[in-house]
Amino acid sequence: MAAPTEEISILLADDHPVVRQGYRRVLEHQGGFRVVAEADNAASAYSAFKQHSPDIVVLDISMPGASGLEAIRNIRLRNSRARILVFSMHAEAVMVKAAFAAGANGYVTKGNEPATLIRAIRAVARGERAMSDDVAHILATESLAPSRSTLDHLGEREIEILRQFAAGSTKEQIASNLNLSVKTVQNYHYLIKTKTGMRTDAQLVRLAAECGLTDL
């Protein structure tokens, strides 16, 4: 863990280069932060983590192919002490809960001021869990209505597969993105339908969109 007086090394993972450049400038202008690597997808984020071993990974949860959920899962499997902060436009409870289930230490939405992200990075560096106020409110509201989402019964791997399926990926593409067999993806597809009560793929896509898993 980086001490408060030490520079915090950061891996930025976001598929929008303008976003990465903007927040790189913001963080490095602050002092005490050093962006050691950038990535634009889950696979390159994992590779960069292996190469640079940053103190903090700041990543978007929505990226082409495998999402930030898969990057979190793989990074956590490689290093159980890794510190990961999600920085995303998605504020839906199902995405927040899936990120924490995958192993994230914090979650901040992009609608917040840069100061919120900076505070969250410092908190995660200290070993704390960090959330922006809107995320904390969403989770608090969700706890009062635990059965409001049909997706509550899905695990984070099932959420990821549903997200990719709803975005138009084939079972073969999903299998490649997640290093799974096509048969395993087919089994997950069947389980997702069973757990959600959806009978058709069109219903699954509509459900994913309603729950904020896609940008449709």
pLDDT for 215: 61
pLDDT for 4: 47
pTM above 0.85, yes or no: no
* Beta bridge mates, 98: none
H helix intervals, 89-200: 93-102, 114-125, 133-144, 156-166, 171-178, 182-196
Q: What domains, with CATH codes, occur in the chain?
A: 8-144 (3.40.50.2300), 150-210 (1.10.10.10)
Instruction: Give 10-residue mean pLDDT values along the chain (216 residues).
Output: 69 93 91 94 94 96 85 93 94 86 94 94 96 92 64 85 91 91 92 89 89 70
User: What 3-state DSSP class applies to 33?
Assistant: strand
Cβ–Cβ < 8 Å for 24, 114: no
pLDDT for 148: 55
pLDDT for 20: 92
pLDDT for 133: 95
pLDDT for 52: 97
pLDDT for 149: 67
CB contact burial 174-208 (16+ within 10 A = b; e otherwise): bbebbebeeebbeebbeebbeebebeeeeebbebb
Tokens of 92: 């839906």
